[in-house]
């Protein structure tokens, strides 16, 4: 039996692969703990995982930051702000708690998000092997060049990492470990799928597929709404979601998604809507709004999904063979949208104007593309099992090392 | 947000909490005041409230069951519980 700690960061799509792997490992009798910022930790708590909440909770302010939501520089501008403003503050407030938790648990291996900071830093200090679950292959092409660019780009975060690094380690390396930190552990596993991301030339990183997971709890009213829509089986259901990060906190985003002529006269289900917005969204006939419901319950019944391009929703839709219209706002969302476009499984609409011009006649072709990708995708359980096996291998090799 | 806050009583806790969350203070502070029906908190603020309470108590290992907090009294009661749990965590570590 191995002890595995998952050090999570980000939003739903970032943490769900970790929970899928944790679930796989737990089923085999391994001991799993999730260390996460307080808001993100709620997902793991809901799902019944043992959780250590770290940090001062200030990360919950991030989604409200207007300047975070930008597609400038292909999403790098939002990463820059996230790293400099929020990850830096998170690492400062959470590192001691994370280190304490690792000292108490003494895990055989730490599995971490590439940006989480506290997991890799604390693991390195305690000489615990670590595995990076990497969601951003675009940062791994020409890793050193991109790593250096990111270091210059997110200089405040890079400075913090440099300050935290033991001087002898910095001297040994000869240069700052900076933002390459996430991908420099014992193994880097990229949670994209070769069927959607054909360029797998990522050096020593391995691409395993995306272990989709969404076992989130829903309230009874939302479950009833979804069940009644599914049982109606009209065949023309449109699902609109903006994910956990954008949809719940940036309420104005829903205003921009209301006027889509192509969706007129079709039932539209808005998923992940805060309570204050639901009444307004449901003003029109055949419009329904719910909070969190597992997308895997809804998407297979949809004709089309309009989403933000987050990695979790992207794989949730294409895995079900359902085409998507991607309305990207920040981070890797444009990149994921381009992957869908290249696979003829989705279309990017950069603004409300393009969204209004979207023509439903494109859906049939997109559906064929989505089904082709779905047929070739690594199944989520297989991806989770593959990652779990690699994580255990790293733990075992490390234990056997002299 | 400052960790490990201590409050003299229910009133000082509620004043800090609602001020922090930019929720207007009611005319009268009472444990029975409903967070959602009377103070108008939405689903996001409900999550924020939980996070703030646990951060203020400096609680690292929260209970597996997410507490049901419907009133100001529930919030105060959970804050006191969270402080006790955090104290137990510190005792376990010998702090």
Q: What is the CA radius of gyration of chain B?
A: 13
Answer yes or no: are the C-beta atoms of A315 and A210 closer than 8 Å: yes
Asked which of A84-98, A159-173, A219-233, B45-59 is least confident by mean pLDDT, the reply is A159-173
C-alpha torsion A278→A280→A282→A284, nearest 10: -170
Which chain B residues are Cβ-neighbours of A101 within 8 angstroms?
A: 60
Query: Where in the sequence is the domain holding B43, given as residue range(s)?
Result: 10-92
Does the ipTM surpass 0.95? no
Q: Which two tokens stand for residue A385?
A: 């099992």
Q: What is the pLDDT of residue B44?
A: 76
Closest CA to B30 of B10, B50, B47, B6: B10
Which chain B residues are Cβ-neighbours of A249 within 8 angstroms?
A: 44
Average pLDDT of chain A? Answer: 88
pLDDT digits (tens, 9 = 90+) for A169-205: 667 665 555 455 555 667 889 999 999 998 887 777 8
Q: How far apart are CA A46 and CA A49, in angstroms?
A: 8
A275: exposed, middle or buried (C-beta count within 10 Å: 0-12, 13-18, 19+)? middle
Architecture field, domain A3-210+380-400 = 3-Layer(aba) Sandwich (3.40)
Q: What is the pLDDT of residue A104?
A: 94
Give the rounded percent of residues in chain A with a pLDDT score beyond 90: 54
Is B71 domain-assigned? yes
Give the relative orientation of helices A88-105 and A118-125 as an angle to the nearest 10 degrees: 40
Q: Do B93 and A100 touch (CB under 8 A)?
A: yes
A172: exposed, middle or buried (C-beta count within 10 Å: 0-12, 13-18, 19+)? exposed
Question: Would A3-210+380-400 and A220-376 be classified into the same CATH topology?
Answer: yes
Q: Kindly state whether A45 is in contact with chain B, defined as any CB-CB distance less than 8 angstroms.
A: yes
Q: What is the pLDDT of residue A243?
A: 86
CB-nearest to A101 from B60, B64, B66 is B60
Q: What is the pLDDT of residue B81?
A: 95
Is B70 domain-assigned? yes
Answer yes or no: are the C-beta atoms of A271 and A298 closer than 8 Å: yes
Q: Which CATH class is domain A220-376?
A: alpha beta
pLDDT at A142 over 70: no
Q: How far apart are CA A384 and CA A191, in angstroms?
A: 10
Higher pLDDT, B45 or A309: A309
Beginning with the edge strand found earlier in the chain, give each strand of the sheet holding A304-307 in spatial order: A287-290, A268-271, A238-241, A304-307, A324-326, A346-348
Q: Kindly state whether A101 is in contact with chain B, defined as any CB-CB distance less than 8 angstroms.
A: yes
| pTM score of the predicted model | 0.91
| Residue A222 C-alpha from the chain's centroid | 23
Which chain A residues are Cβ-neighbours of B48 within 8 angstroms?
A: 60
A187-190 and A50-54 strand pairing:
unpaired
Q: Give the list of residues 6+ apart from residue A318 with CB closer than 8 angstroms, or none.
A: A196, A324, A340, A343, A345, A346, A370, A373, A374, A377
Answer yes or no: are the C-beta atoms of A292 and A244 closer than 8 Å: yes
User: Residue A62 — very low, low, confident or very high, per pLDDT cuts 50/70/90?
Assistant: confident
Mean pLDDT value of segment A102-108 = 96
Which chain B residues are Cβ-neighbours of A95 within 8 angstroms?
A: none
Mutation target among A53, A59, A293 for the B interface, most CBs of B within 10 A: A53
Instruction: Please give the backbone phi and psi of residue B12, each rounded to the nearest 5 degrees, phi first.
Output: -70, -35
| Domain edges within chain A | 3-210+380-400, 220-376
Q: Do A53 and B47 touch (CB under 8 A)?
A: no
Domain count, chain B: 1
Q: What is the CATH number of the domain that holds B53?
A: 1.10.1200
C-alpha torsion A241→A63→B15→B23, nearest 10: -50
Q: Kindly state whether A26 is in contact with chain B, defined as any CB-CB distance less than 8 angstroms.
A: no
Is B4 domain-assigned? no
């Amino acid at each position: 039996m191995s002890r595995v700690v998952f050090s999570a960061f980000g939003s739903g799509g970032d943490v769900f692969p970790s929970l899928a792997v944790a679930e796989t490992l737990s089923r085999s009798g391994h001991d799993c703990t999730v260390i996460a910022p307080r808001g993100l930790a709620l997902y793991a708590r809901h799902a019944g995982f043992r959780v250590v909440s770290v940090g001062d909770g200030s990360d919950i302010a991030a989604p409200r930051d207007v300047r975070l939501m930008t597609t400038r520089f292909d999403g790098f501008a939002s990463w820059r702000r996230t790293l400099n403003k929020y990850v830096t503050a998170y690492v400062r407030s959470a590192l001691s708690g994370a280190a304490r938790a690792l000292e108490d648990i003494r895990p055989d291996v730490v599995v971490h998000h590439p940006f989480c900071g506290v997991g890799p830093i604390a693991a390195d200090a305690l000489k615990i092997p670590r595995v990076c679950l990497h969601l951003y292959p675009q940062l791994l092409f020409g890793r050193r060049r991109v790593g250096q660019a990111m270091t210059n780009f997110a200089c405040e975060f890079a400075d913090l990492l440099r300050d935290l690094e033991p001087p002898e380690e910095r001297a040994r390396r000869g240069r700052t470990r900076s933002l390459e930190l996430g991908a420099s552990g014992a193994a880097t596993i990229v949670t994209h799928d070769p069927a959607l991301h054909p360029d797998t030339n990522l050096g020593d990183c391995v691409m395993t597929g995306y272990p989709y997971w969404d076992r989130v709890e829903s309230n009874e009213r939302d479950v009833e709404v979804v069940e009644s829509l599914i049982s109606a089986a009209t065949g023309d259901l449109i699902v609109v979601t903006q994910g956990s990060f954008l949809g719940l906190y940036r309420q104005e985003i829903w205003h921009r998604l209301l006027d889509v002529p192509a969706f007129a006269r079709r039932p539209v289900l808005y998923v992940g809507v805060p309570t204050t917005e639901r009444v307004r969204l449901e003003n029109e006939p055949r419009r329904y709004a719910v909070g969190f419901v597992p997308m895997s319950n809804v998407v297979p019944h949809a004709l089309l999904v309009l989403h933000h391009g987050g990695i979790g929703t992207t794989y949730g839709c294409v895995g079900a063979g359902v085409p998507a219209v991607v309305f990207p706002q920040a981070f890797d969302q444009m990149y994921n949208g381009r992957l869908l476009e290249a696979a003829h499984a989705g279309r990017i609409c950069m603004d409300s104007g393009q969204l209004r011009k979207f023509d439903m006649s494109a859906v049939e072709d997109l559906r064929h593309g989505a089904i082709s990708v779905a047929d070739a995708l690594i199944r989520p359980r297989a991806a989770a099992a593959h990652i779990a096996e690699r994580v255990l291998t790293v733990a075992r090799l490390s234990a056997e090392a002299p | 947000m400052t960790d490990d806050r201590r409050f003299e009583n229910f009133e000082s806790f509620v004043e800090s909490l609602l001020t922090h969350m930019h929720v207007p203070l009611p005319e009268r502070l009472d444990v029975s005041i409903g967070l959602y029906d009377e103070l108008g908190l939405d689903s996001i603020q409900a999550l924020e409230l939980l996070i703030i309470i646990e951060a203020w108590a400096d609680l690292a290992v929260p209970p597996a069951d997410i507490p049901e907090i419907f009133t100001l009294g529930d919030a105060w009661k959970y804050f006191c519980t969270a402080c006790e749990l955090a104290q137990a965590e510190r005792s376990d570590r010998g702090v």
